Amino acid sequence: MVRADDEAGAAGFGGAGVPHSEVYRGGYFEETGAVNQAEGLQDFRRQNEGHLIIADDRPILVMSFGLKYQGANPGKYKTEGRYDIPVGYKAIIKWDEDEIVFMTREGTFGPEFQIIYLPKSPVAEDFTLFEWNSNIADIWDQFLTLVEGTEDRDIRFFDPGPWRTFGVTRDEVQIALKQGTDVKTAVDRILYCADEKAGPSVEEYMRYLGLEPETDVDFSWICKLFKDEPKPAHFFEYISEGMVYWFSAQTQETYWKHPLYDKYKRMLQVARIQKPLPHWKSIMSFRIEFLLNQVFRNNLDEEQDRMPLVETVDNVIEMARIFRVNIQNEPYLVHVLRRALRHYAHAVREKRKVKDVEDFRNLIVRYHDLVAQFEQAKDLEMRKVQQMKVCVQCDERDAVLFCDNCRDFFCQACFDRLHARGRRKTHRRTWVEMGMCAECSEAIALFHCVQCADLYCRDCFQDWHMRGGRRNHIPIVLRSFNSQTDKLADATPAMGTGAGKIVKQARSPWFCFLDENNIKFYYNIETGVSRRDMPIAVINEPIEENKGGGLAGGWAGTWGSNMYPDPLDAKEVPEGQFTIETAF
């Protein structure tokens, strides 16, 4: 026999005024008289498991002490300011001949509780199961309302309240939480794998996550997402004797628990409550709302009036998974995802439903087509430049002259030979420089930097001379055919349309984000590298509205375009002028 006050003495429990209690464990039940008080407990009759606590002449059979909560907002898992509310706690008490089961679990916004009333009756309809509830007072009132209807029963048994009635505040339970007595229950299940070469199947992930085949058939997509989502880069998966475990390169430790288990376990719990339809629109809306609810959940202890930081790297990557876009190959779509985060954050904050995900799918298509147009213009420009660089007559030497009347480019020898006699002798000519840019090797050079001793096109000269000592470099404007472009439409691309610069910016993997302290940092979406100082590479910025229509064409017409204010949108609008908030 183990005395609770002896066990709790060093921990500060069992002081004056605390009644002595006795704790019996395992097979010792058979040697004590306490078995007679608990012999009607169904779980105890089935097998000798659990921990029997005798206090105030009544037994409490604790089937599981549970675990101490580890996560955000730990204050929600405290009662009376000092007692921990365990996660996964299960206890059974006796009320005369009836049994009452009390259980706890981790919920979406805090602990959740369930009570099962099992009267001694052969009629199954007499059993009462109270659904999981995050409000302990609410479920306790429902239970008391039920038992008050019984005749000739003393309900003063429940006067201490739910915490003391079910032993949550008992010293034995609190000590067990601090000592991690049930730490083994941290792994609810082990992921088993029948085929080590192919890896765990979706069905094996379903069993691991606890998906019920009958009631959770509409949530099988959660297990598919669980299986397909990449694990953190520092986790490595191994299979031993049909069981899967993971090794962390950071902590140099192995785990039976999947690194994403908590995320998808919580997603399954929320899905059971909200019951999204098995349709792609409903699933996408649910996943967006689930993501942003986690953001606001972690922000409960901060200022309520302050909008939490939603445009984080992790949230953008998660939104890319939801919308099924590859931001490594199409980095410019990050701007659409950031816009979606801002838009839906207002909806979740105001307790609105997440709707119209198709609007942002259309916006993604619009932005993709817009970048494709600029890429097409860039390719056309390159082809025209290559054609104009070579003499049209010999196709060998570089062109140095442009005939205003023939509207063709010639080398010096071919021009002199063709324009030596006849009416061509009076043709007007323009000297041109057809050297290529030393940086991009794609556009015709328009500037020569004396200090750098290199040729540059307009965009490259601006990019390389915007910081440092190069800002003081003075270029020489090369002879060109600026005044002749009205006569030769094909000459316009040679002057540089800016399409190459826009494409280069849209394809850049570098993005600017803000951290929790509102300080800028730069993140590479391809390599995952982040840095505080601005990289030399081009920073990916959204395409301006005056460039090919920007995103206004894709965003206009959607009912939600102006539904929520955007801090980055223009605040001053000229009177009488209608504008659509499309700024990124």
State phi, psi for 115 to the nearest 5 degrees.
Answer: -125, 135
Q: Which residues make Cβ contacts (< 8 Å) with residue 196, sequence separation at least 6?
A: 239, 242
More confident residue, 377 or 480: 377
Residues present in the chain in total: 584
Tokens of 529: 């590298």
Start-to-end Cα distance in the chain: 69
Percent of the chain predicted with pLDDT > 70: 74
- The mean per-residue pLDDT over the stretch 569-576 comes to 46
Q: Are residues 391 and 398 in contact, defined by beta-carbon separation less than 8 angstroms?
A: yes
Task: Tell whether the model's pLDDT for residue 432 goes beyond 90.
Answer: no
Using alpha carbons only, give the angle 490, 496, 499 rounded to the nearest 5 degrees.
105
- The mean per-residue pLDDT over the stretch 379-383 comes to 76
What pLDDT score was predicted for residue 330?
A: 92
More confident residue, 325 or 463: 325
Q: Are residues 554 and 362 in contact, defined by beta-carbon separation less than 8 angstroms?
A: yes
Backbone region of residue 110 per phi and psi (left: phi > 0; alpha: psi in -120 to 50; beta: other values): left
Q: Are residues 59 and 73 in contact, defined by beta-carbon separation less than 8 angstroms?
A: no
What CATH code is assigned to 375-502? Answer: 4.10.640.40
Buried b (16+ CB within 10 A) or exposed e, 107-121: bbebbbbbbebbbee
Q: Band the pLDDT of 155: cuts 50, 70, 90.
A: confident
What pLDDT score was predicted for residue 300?
A: 56
What pLDDT score was predicted for residue 491?
A: 57
What pLDDT score was predicted for residue 323?
A: 93
pLDDT digits (tens, 9 = 90+) for 62-103: 888 888 887 778 888 998 888 999 988 999 988 888 889 999
Q: Which of 246-250, 423-427, 510-514 comes out lowest in average pLDDT?
A: 423-427
pLDDT digits (tens, 9 = 90+) for 253-281: 888 889 999 899 999 989 988 899 999 99
Q: Band the pLDDT of 189: cuts 50, 70, 90.
A: low
CATH fold group of domain 36-179: Double Stranded RNA Binding Domain (3.30.160)
- 36-179 shares its CATH topology with 375-502: no
Task: Tell whether the model's pLDDT for residue 513 goes beyond 50.
Answer: yes
Helices within 280-438 (DSSP H only): 280-297, 313-323, 334-349, 357-389, 412-418
Q: Are residues 568 and 583 in contact, defined by beta-carbon separation less than 8 angstroms?
A: yes
Strand ranges of the sheet holding 530-531, from the earlier edge strand across to the other edge: 510-514, 520-524, 530-531
Task: Give the C-alpha separation, 479 to 182, whole Å.
Answer: 82
Domain ranges of the chain: 36-179, 191-274, 375-502
Q: CB count, 10 Å around CB of 539?
A: 12
522 alpha carbon, distance to own chain's centre: 18
What pLDDT score was predicted for residue 334?
A: 93
More confident residue, 8 or 326: 326
Highest mean pLDDT: which range of 41-50, 302-311, 330-339, 559-568: 330-339
Strand ranges of the sheet holding 235-240, from the earlier edge strand across to the other edge: 235-240, 243-248, 253-255
Task: Give the C-alpha separation, 504 to 293, whole Å.
Answer: 36
- The mean per-residue pLDDT over the stretch 466-492 comes to 64
- The mean per-residue pLDDT over the stretch 22-47 comes to 45
Q: Band the pLDDT of 223: cuts 50, 70, 90.
A: very high
Task: Tell whether the model's pLDDT for residue 286 goes beyond 90.
Answer: yes
Highest mean pLDDT: which range of 30-39, 46-55, 454-463, 525-534: 525-534
What pLDDT score was predicted for residue 317?
A: 94
Task: Give the C-alpha separation, 353 to 277, whole Å.
Answer: 14
Report in angstroms the alpha-carbon separations of 14 from 52, 166, 183, 503.
18, 18, 24, 72
Task: Tell whether the model's pLDDT for residue 18 goes beyond 90.
Answer: no
